Structure 1
Amino acid sequence: MDQIESNPTIPVRALQEQLQKDYQVGFSIHKVFRAKSTAKKLVQGDYKKQYDVLRDYILELQSTNPETTVKLEFDSEPNLSATSRRFKRMYVCLGGMKKGFRACLRDFLGFDGAFMKGPFPGQILTAVGVDSNNGIYPLAYAIVETENTDSWKWFLECIADDLDLHANSNFTFISDRQKGLQTAISQLFPCAEHRFCLRHIHDNMRKTWRTNEYKEHLWNCATTTTIPPQHWARSHFTGRAVSDMLLNNLCEVFNSKLIEGRDKPLISCLEYIREYMMKRICNVIKVQKKCVGPLTPSATKIMEKNVNWASQYTVRWNGSDKYQVQGPWKWELTGLPCKHVIAVLNDKADNGEEVGELHTYAHRVHWLETWKAAYVYKVEPIKGRAMWPISECPIKITPPIHKNQPGRPKKKRRHSAEEKSQKKGDNVASGSGSQSNIASRSGKLTRKFIQVTCSKCKIKGHNARTCKGQGGK
């Protein structure tokens, strides 16, 4: 149990070798596998039994973390006199994270989903914001039965209650266009700005256009600020979110931190997420203590780059309150003065006008004090299981219907075609037609165009299974 508690992912073979070394006794691999399963159940908890104490956990979570929102939903039960209800969904928004998100001053949220493992698989839906330093700020999470319009709509309604959002709210969302999410957002928030992750758009394009040239054209169109269309190009973004973000990496980062918790029992999984949020706040505060200046580190780097660019610009004044500077206008989109604005301010200062400090032209989102204000609120630890309050609700919670998923459970997320090709380092010319080039462009390994060699007769064109002795053996 000590070994499993310190390293839950230890391989069975390594555990077998360690036990045989410690006790000088031989153990079969099957016996070690059963022992590891039993130890994990004792350390992490039983998958079924954790549903029995779910209400107790909720009471403890809300008592230690004030203003925390937890919502439960059960499958419909035709028998109204039944003493149990089957678990369907659960939503959690910790009070400290809710207050901190409001202090971020950014009406911007990214959505994503990730598979759960174990005997009762489902989906973990996450809502992640962006802090003043352009880092992730997890807001809420939910465990649902599947990823569809109904579950996404329920998740969005829960978030709307916590953030006081309405149908006419001018909020900004970004997603990978998950199943049902686009429909749910359009129904609940018709006035919201919904951005699509550019990387996933490119992955869909790669099925038809596989060369890097198309990728460069797509990125150039998306990053420009002077052409349409909406959802994926900065030219059509509003300044509501004070961000020109094109990728949904904030949710990808958050989900990557939850990989080890996704195969744990329900309460253990929820605790894994809460503990990560608690540790992240501490880590950010350590970084903040080293920061100086009026702006956050990321905003400072952008401003320094813009200042360097502005020194190369020539500004022409028209004699009143207008200036001519060639290039796109991005101040309202990011909340930071672009190089053209800085060039105008430099020109005004050179002519003896009072322009003030440069950081005063930046949106409050980018101020260091705003970043610190978001992390004033903490996620509090909870007490041990024996000290949890006992729920007085007579209705017992039962786990969802057990479903065995096909195939071997996967730990890692599915990599995109581009990530696969980058991982293998297949940077080849687009005109080549070899099998390796085709694999690098499509991101998939294929046996097409490969001429196999028989391992028996060493002649090409067939394999050992179909060999008829062509080599004379």
Structure 2
Amino acid sequence: MKPTAINEFLLQKYHIQLPYQRIYRARRIIQEINEGSYSKFYARLPAYDGLVLEKNLGSKFIIEYESRQEHELDTVDPVFLRVFICFCACARDFLKGCTPFLGIDGCHLKGRYDGVLLSAISVDGNKGLFPVAYTVVEVECKESWLFFLNHLHDVIDPEDTKRLLNFMSDKQKGLADVEFEINAIKSMDTTIYEWLIKDPKKLWARHAFDVGPKSEYITNNMTYSFNQWISAIRTKPILTLIDALRLKLMDRMYHKFHKGQSFYGTITPMVRKKLIKIQETSRDCISHGGADDEFEVIELGGRREMFHPLDDLADLREDGPIYGVVQSPRLRRIQGRPQKSRRKDPDEALNGESSQRSTSLRCSKCNMVSHNKRKCKRPPMKDKRASSSQTVGVKVALNSIYSSLVFSCLLAAAIVGIALNRTVLILNSDVKDLELLGLNPDFTLLIMLLFALHLETGTLGCQNV
């Protein structure tokens, strides 16, 4: 809490107001009680050095002192200048499983004695931050950077000449110095200046770069993330700062170890996602092998377009940008009930019928195919059926044939009755009288019905004629 915030708290809580310097001194005393003394902790660094090297074999803890001895016989205590720290676990894991990339940067400390913390940050196999080494120096200068880089070189296995690394740093101030020197050369001799700038500036130091190491990282964001990660301890005393950073690294590596035990196979999840994405993209490519490690890849042009989602259609306006409000088209209605089903061809099957029809559908009204009389929309055609005179003639001919058959039956019955001299009695007697005469009643009734039918048919035929 800042002194101004403490003063406001005291004013609101206890209604007292103290001078700024008094609150500042009181806060510093409380910080020394809780976190330790800023000055006395420098004297404990050598003992802390031995403790770290005892518990973490192979680590680097190098302290550099500033000697204020003016003469050889003077006995003056050494003054702290710089310290380099690299734990053995960080160095080995970087060499075994991290990306061959190091981002170097520094951040200012906010304690009583200020200082700058320089760090070297790499990227692990799962695209996470991996601190390799760090150092606390007095200021960010050439000597302090050489102290840090020389010890870092000793840590990352200098005997392995085949190892290729990529370094990235913030060279903004260095570039500003280069521009200043170029302007100075221009003011001295324009000929040298023109010879110097005839080539692009990015080619001036190309001879010093190796074409072997390559990396996909083009920014130094991992160092900025690291500086933000330790922002809460940048105000602590030197010993508290170094030990708090050790605890943060230890917790980070512990959680990464347990998280790595849940990984399947040797490929990390982030790399697996990247490989899946590359595999999906490779579907648009065709490869032709040329050698064991050489392929010719042809990228196809398909599968590049996609449908993009639209906004809510309820927000659409009804007024057009040019012609105004667009109206609906004119309604067209055909005479009759609207047709709901599709009009089928003659060779298609109707609903519920077989696809093979014996005869085509023909309208009895217009004599056309593909519809019936109920769905016909054309005027009726002229009837070409036979005339009424021809129809009456056919009926008369049929009645004559039928009358002839009936008359033949009656004639046969009459001949039988005459032969027996009982014809009149048959026509004018009852059934009991016929039985007395010795005739069969059933046969006699059949003759009478045939005779009555003949008379009725003959009357109808005469009327039709």
Asked whether the equivalents of residues 62 and 68 of structure 1 are also in contact (C-alpha less than 8 Å), the reply is yes
CA shift, 1:274, in A, is 1.0
* Aligned residue runs from structure 1 range 142-157, under 5 A: 142-157=135-150
Unaligned runs of 5+ in 2: 180-201, 301-465
Structure 2 counterpart SS, 1:164: coil
Asked whether the equivalents of residues 117 and 263 of structure 1 are also in contact (C-alpha less than 8 Å), the reply is yes
TM-score, scaled to structure 2: 0.50
Structure 2 counterpart SS, 1:165: coil
Q: Deviations over 1:348-383 (max 9, x none)?
A: xxxxxxxxxxxxxxxxxxxxxxxxxxxxxxxxxxxx
Number of the residue aligned with 2:239: 267
Quick one: which amino acid aligns to residue 134 of structure 2? Y
Number of the residue aligned with 2:287: 315
CA shift, 1:163, in A, is 2.3
Quick one: which amino acid aligns to residue 274 of structure 2? I
CA shift, 1:319, in A, is 11
CA shift, 1:255, in A, is 1.5
Number of the residue aligned with 1:334: none
CA shift, 1:99, in A, is 2.1
TM-score, scaled to structure 1: 0.50
- Equivalent-residue separation in structure 2 for 1:137 and 1:83 (angstroms): 40
- Equivalent-residue separation in structure 2 for 1:109 and 1:320 (angstroms): 32
Number of the residue aligned with 1:399: none
CA shift, 1:179, in A, is 7.9
Asked whether the equivalents of residues 88 and 145 of structure 1 are also in contact (C-alpha less than 8 Å), the reply is yes
Q: Which moved more, 1:249-258 or 1:283-292?
A: 283-292
CA shift, 1:139, in A, is 1.0
Confirm or deny that 1:79 pairs with 2:71: yes
- Equivalent-residue separation in structure 1 for 2:292 and 2:26 (angstroms): 82
CA shift, 1:18, in A, is 6.9
Quick one: which amino acid aligns to residue 88 of structure 2? G
Asked whether the equivalents of residues 98 and 122 of structure 2 are also in contact (C-alpha less than 8 Å), the reply is no
Confirm or deny that 1:56 pairs with 2:47: yes
Structure 1 counterpart SS, 2:286: coil
Quick one: which amino acid aligns to residue 73 of structure 1? E
Asked whether the equivalents of residues 94 and 122 of structure 2 are also in contact (C-alpha less than 8 Å), the reply is yes
CA shift, 1:120, in A, is 1.7
Query: Which of these residues, 225, 239, 258, is aligned with residue 253 of structure 1?
Result: 225
Unaligned runs of 5+ in 1: 1-9, 183-199, 205-227, 328-338, 340-473
Query: Which of these residues, 109, 114, 123, is aligned with residue 116 of structure 1?
Result: 109
- Equivalent-residue separation in structure 2 for 1:150 and 1:33 (angstroms): 34
- Equivalent-residue separation in structure 2 for 1:43 and 1:257 (angstroms): 22
- Equivalent-residue separation in structure 2 for 1:168 and 1:179 (angstroms): 30
Query: Which of these residues, 95, 115, 121, is aligned with residue 88 of structure 2?
Result: 95
Confirm or deny that 1:35 pairs with 2:7: no
Q: Deviations over 1:177-218 (max 9, x none)?
A: 4489x8xxxxxxxxxxxxxxxxx99xx9xxxxxxxxxxxxxx
Asked whether the equivalents of residues 126 and 141 of structure 1 are also in contact (C-alpha less than 8 Å), the reply is yes
Larger radius of gyration between Structure 1 and Structure 2: 2
Asked whether the equivalents of residues 35 and 236 of structure 2 are also in contact (C-alpha less than 8 Å), the reply is yes
Asked whether the equivalents of residues 147 and 179 of structure 1 are also in contact (C-alpha less than 8 Å), the reply is no
Asked whether the equivalents of residues 237 and 244 of structure 1 are also in contact (C-alpha less than 8 Å), the reply is no
Structure 1 vs Structure 2 CA RMSD: 3.7
Asked whether the equivalents of residues 108 and 114 of structure 2 are also in contact (C-alpha less than 8 Å), the reply is yes
How many residues align? The count is 271
- Equivalent-residue separation in structure 2 for 1:36 and 1:279 (angstroms): 30
Structure 2 counterpart SS, 1:264: coil
Q: Which has the higher helix share?
A: 2
Number of the residue aligned with 1:46: 37
**Structure 1 residues 159 and 317: CA distance shift in structure 2, 3 A:** closer
**Structure 1 residues 26 and 319: CA distance shift in structure 2, 3 A:** closer
CA shift, 1:125, in A, is 0.9
Structure 2 counterpart SS, 1:66: coil
Asked whether the equivalents of residues 174 and 248 of structure 1 are also in contact (C-alpha less than 8 Å), the reply is no
Structure 2 counterpart SS, 1:36: helix
Quick one: which amino acid aligns to residue 287 of structure 2? V
**Structure 1 residues 26 and 149: CA distance shift in structure 2, 3 A:** closer
Query: Which of these residues, 244, 257, 270, is aligned with residue 216 of structure 2?
Result: 244
- Equivalent-residue separation in structure 2 for 1:308 and 1:122 (angstroms): 50
* Aligned residue runs from structure 1 range 166-185, under 5 A: 170-178=163-171
* Aligned residue runs from structure 1 range 167-316, under 5 A: 170-178=163-171, 238=211, 240=213, 243-316=215-288
**Structure 1 residues 229 and 276: CA distance shift in structure 2, 3 A:** farther
**Structure 1 residues 28 and 41: CA distance shift in structure 2, 3 A:** same
